Structure 1
Amino acid sequence: MPPTGAGAGAGPGDAALRHPHWWQRGWVRYGALITLLALSGLVILALVRRQTGTEGFLVGLGLAVLPVPWLTAAFRWLDRVEPGPWRNLVFAFAWGACAAALIAIVANSFATHWIATSTADPAGADTLGATVIAPIVEESAKAAAVLLLFLFRRRDFTGIVDGVVIAGITATGFAFTENILYLGTAFGTDQLTGGRGIASVTAATFFVRIVMSPFAHPLFTVLTGIGFGTGALAGDGQRARRVLLPLGGLLLAMGMHAFWNGSSTFGAYGFFAVYGLFMVPAFGLLTWLAIWTRQRELRTVREELPAYVFAGWLGPAEPYVLGSMRARRMAREYARHHFGGRPAGRTVARYEACATSLAFLRHRARLGRAPADFAVRERELLSELWARRGVAWPALEYATRASARAPAPYWPAYGYGHLPGQDYGQGYGQGYGQDYYGYPAVPYSAHNPYRT
């Protein structure tokens, strides 16, 4: 055992661990990222305002913001089973609205201008720019946000739903800025031509972009998110899958984007044909896939948590309560009304999130995809559950009674008599009923409200 205590000698690498380089410090990285996004936002604001004018910018801003709340709410609803941190969603939206939009405007303008000056067909340059250059540039710029979170926030990026939510929020931010530009430009055109009412360019642009297809950019980029989400499900040794699946999702996003942008070249009714025969069915299919994945996550919670019921960390009915969004909501409301208001509700919400993360962690391990830090992560989650049990257990017990969910037998039926490590042959821990990572096993009759 290495020496410990105040007089213990330091190893040769200890100083580097205690004193990282200045660029490795968290506040430096966060500061650099915030500065980058802020500068991108200021530049994109100036570029859009220059093209649309102040009045056009304000009109475009007022109209472009309309679909943002309900798109964001839809993705947040999808993320309710295991909600990700708000900071990830704020970053994704800001990246899409600022950095990705700036990259797209600069790169698209440069590429289209270069093509126009290199050929004798300026109209063909616009078509090529819209159907080839724009999809590649824009989807790559949006995918950068998903990639950054995939690489540096792996604990928050564990499956398909996380990829869909992050990609969708990023694309929502991108579409917001792009809609300001298009709607502001249309308003400026109406000011010059005297367009009014439903015959105006602004009304037509609003109908196409805000009413008919507000989901277009999220739909494209969600394909990239699905690729990253399936890549996140791969084990640590499956590096080819973790690279090829995100790349395949990105290529599909580019292809769908190019097909949508090229619909105007398919004749007078090409746009409406592509919209009705391709975009709407694709939107419906991906919506069904997202909802089905959400329900599968709830089923995973119900199937994996009984292992921790047997160990005494959870009450008998908790896997079923935590596997029902209705019961989870009832538990939070009960805590808010009977245990100290909003802070108590947030405590129960955090308990539910930790239990869900624990179920997903165990599920990955049971499939042979346990991360290298499985034992550390499991202990952290169990610690958070234990710290919040005083408020969470009574609230969940109330939700059990109110939702009329009776606890099912858990140890004989599920066969969970071992720790996760013993189930998977990884040697992660000791047997249930013993000292569990420094925590005592919890006999039901003594330490929790589910007394038998």
Structure 2
Amino acid sequence: MSNPVPAETGTEAGAAPGTGASPVPHRGTGDPAFPGAADRSQWRYRPHRAFWRSRMVRAVALVAVLLVCALAILALVREQTGTRGFLVGLALAVLPVPLLAAAFRWLDRVEPLPWKNLLFAFAWGAFAAALAAILANSFAVRWIAATTADPDSAHSLGATVVAPVVEESAKAAAVLLLFLFRRRNFHGLVDGVVIAGFTATGFAFTENILYLGNAFGEDQEFGTPGIGAMTVGTFFARAVMSPFAHPLFTVFTGLGFGFAALAPRGRRLRRVLLPLAGLLLAMGMHAAWNGSVTFGGPLAFLAVYGAFMMPAFGLLTWLAVWSRQRELRTIAGELPAYAAAGWLSPAEPLALSSMRARRAARAVAARTYGERAARAVGEYESFATTLAFLRDRARRGTAGPDFAARERELLHHLWQRRAIASPALTYAARATGRVWAPPQYLDYGDYNPYRR
């Protein structure tokens, strides 16, 4: 089946929105101007690439660094807590992790980030950032104790002044690395929040092992046969009352990078200042939290918790949900141009801008033709979402010079799955009220790509 010729919509397929320029021929794999390009194994000459530019080498080096950090942090925590304390701390610290990961993943459902990016963020927080924080904080406390007239204040100053700077900087490094080297997957506020949240969740996981393991050791010193009051109290304070504490701090950094991702390419100063402002807010909130615990006692802790932490948590939750709704509005605003050009049916942009309609489309495809059809509809939804965000970035001048080639590739993927996905999405738009017409049966005609 040949691709349709898009109708006149003011923007030619393959051209940046608003430019009216004709698409530039894309010379790449399969280009007839380059014989044999479709089969790279037949190439006799290949471009030379520096050793460290190899993706495999960089991936192996990154995994090796994280593995070394993991072994080092394991040895340090086990040395401080003992084997039994480490195992108890590990068992209790892992309990909040699925809740936090699920919450951040829920925010990211419109255009999900690749799991490898999220796993890297979690591993960086749990191993690299935690190792840097333990070493730097220990050194700072010893240095303060040796250089001040009041050595007893070293731990208090370290927790209030040094720890927020060191820990937030170490966690921010993961967000910075993904912002620089995985820029194509870092589009806006939601991406910044999710990456920062996974990084901080990993950091809190390792820190909780240390605190819970030490609390268990104190219970054992008092003769408690199992988990005692110190362990239960520490678990309640860290995993029940404030599981979002570290993610809340680091989310400010993520928001800074998210705003920087939305800035036009020419605004370099804004791209530098916005992440720095977010990092400073994260450090300030972290310092206020630690200071209330260190200097103020229980009443000051509850005052900061109620006056600052809860409102900030509510504000950031609202902002994250608003950003997700903004993404859906972007889909609703950008995809009608492709529907007018003939690539999508008129009802598809309405269905694709509703999470309920998306679920309904996958469900009806699964009931009609099985799980393979549902996966095809899910892939179609993902490609269409990426296409909408790509067009939106092109409109704001942040899409990059390869916009036309990426647009054509996404349209090709949509066209391959259109026969199975378009009827399902049209049905879902009607069934969920996105199109004011009574829902009808799902009609694929005689076409069944999954008939055995």
TM-score (norm 1): 0.85
Q: What amino acid is the match of 1:185?
A: N
1:288 and 2:334 equivalent?
no
Identity of aligned residues (%): 68
Quote the Cα distance in structure 2 between the aligned partners of 1:375 and 1:307. 15
**Structure 1 residue corresponding to 2:353, chosen from 323, 335, 339:** 323
Partner of 1:46: 75
CA displacement at 1:7 relative to structure 2: 11
1:27 and 2:56 equivalent?
yes
Task: Determine helix, strand or coil for the equivalent of 2:400.
Answer: coil
Partner of 2:408: 379
**Structure 2 residue corresponding to 1:260, chosen from 283, 289, 304:** 289
1:229 and 2:258 equivalent?
yes
Partner of 1:88: 117
CA deviations 1:243-268 (Å, max 9, x no partner) are 11111101110111011000021355
Residues 25-424 of structure 1: matches in 2 within 5 Å?
Answer: 25-195=54-224, 200-264=229-293, 265-341=295-371, 343-406=372-435
Quote the Cα distance in structure 1 between the aligned partners of 2:227 and 2:73. 30
Quote the Cα distance in structure 2 between the aligned partners of 1:223 and 1:89. 18
Partner of 1:426: none
Quote the Cα distance in structure 2 between the aligned partners of 1:104 and 1:119. 22
CA deviations 1:408-449 (Å, max 9, x no partner) are 9xxxxxxxxxxxxxxxxxxxxxxxxxxxxxxxxxxxxxxx99
Q: What amino acid is the match of 1:104?
A: A
- In structure 2, relative to structure 1, the CA distance for the partners of 1:178 and 1:321 (3 Å cut) is same
CA displacement at 1:345 relative to structure 2: 2.5
Quote the Cα distance in structure 1 between the aligned partners of 2:127 and 2:435. 50
CA displacement at 1:199 relative to structure 2: 7.0
Unpaired runs of 5+ residues, structure 2, are: 1-24, 38-42, 438-446
CA displacement at 1:78 relative to structure 2: 0.2
Q: What amino acid is the match of 1:93?
A: F
CA displacement at 1:61 relative to structure 2: 0.8
CA displacement at 1:404 relative to structure 2: 2.9
CA displacement at 1:292 relative to structure 2: 1.0
Task: Determine helix, strand or coil for the equivalent of 1:142.
Answer: helix
Asked if the contact 1:143–1:224 (Cα under 8 Å) also holds between the matched residues in 2, the reply is: yes
Asked if the contact 1:198–1:204 (Cα under 8 Å) also holds between the matched residues in 2, the reply is: no
Q: What amino acid is the match of 2:308?
A: F
CA displacement at 1:181 relative to structure 2: 0.5
Q: What amino acid is the match of 2:98?
A: P
Q: What amino acid is the match of 2:202?
A: G
CA displacement at 1:291 relative to structure 2: 0.6
Quote the Cα distance in structure 1 between the aligned partners of 2:122 and 2:211. 19
Greater relative CO, 1 or 2 (CA 8 Å, sep 6+): 2
- In structure 2, relative to structure 1, the CA distance for the partners of 1:133 and 1:312 (3 Å cut) is same
CA displacement at 1:406 relative to structure 2: 1.6
Quote the Cα distance in structure 1 between the aligned partners of 2:232 and 2:402. 54
- In structure 2, relative to structure 1, the CA distance for the partners of 1:176 and 1:7 (3 Å cut) is closer
Quote the Cα distance in structure 2 between the aligned partners of 1:15 and 1:236. 38
CA displacement at 1:401 relative to structure 2: 2.8
CA displacement at 1:110 relative to structure 2: 1.0
Count of residue pairs brought into register by the alignment: 405
Asked if the contact 2:121–2:199 (Cα under 8 Å) also holds between the matched residues in 1, the reply is: yes
Task: Determine helix, strand or coil for the equivalent of 1:269.
Answer: helix
Quote the Cα distance in structure 1 between the aligned partners of 2:374 and 2:391. 26
Moved more, 130-139 or 387-396: 387-396
Quote the Cα distance in structure 2 between the aligned partners of 1:217 and 1:404. 40
TM-score (norm 2): 0.85
- In structure 2, relative to structure 1, the CA distance for the partners of 1:4 and 1:198 (3 Å cut) is closer
Residues 436-451 of structure 1: matches in 2 within 5 Å?
Answer: none
Task: Determine helix, strand or coil for the equivalent of 2:175.
Answer: helix
Q: What amino acid is the match of 2:204?
A: A
CA displacement at 1:334 relative to structure 2: 2.1
Task: Determine helix, strand or coil for the equivalent of 1:184.
Answer: helix
Quote the Cα distance in structure 1 between the aligned partners of 2:318 and 2:388. 23
Unpaired runs of 5+ residues, structure 1, are: 9-13, 409-447
Moved more, 207-216 or 113-122: 113-122
Asked if the contact 2:175–2:195 (Cα under 8 Å) also holds between the matched residues in 1, the reply is: yes
- In structure 2, relative to structure 1, the CA distance for the partners of 1:198 and 1:4 (3 Å cut) is closer
Asked if the contact 1:339–1:391 (Cα under 8 Å) also holds between the matched residues in 2, the reply is: no
Quote the Cα distance in structure 2 between the aligned partners of 1:153 and 1:404. 37
CA deviations 1:88-146 (Å, max 9, x no partner) are 11111111111111111111111111111222322211111101111111111111111
Q: What amino acid is the match of 1:333?
A: A
Quote the Cα distance in structure 2 between the aligned partners of 1:109 and 1:15. 56
Aligned-residue CA RMSD (Å): 2.5
Quote the Cα distance in structure 2 between the aligned partners of 1:107 and 1:177. 16
Q: What amino acid is the match of 1:31?
A: V
Quote the Cα distance in structure 2 between the aligned partners of 1:16 and 1:5. 13
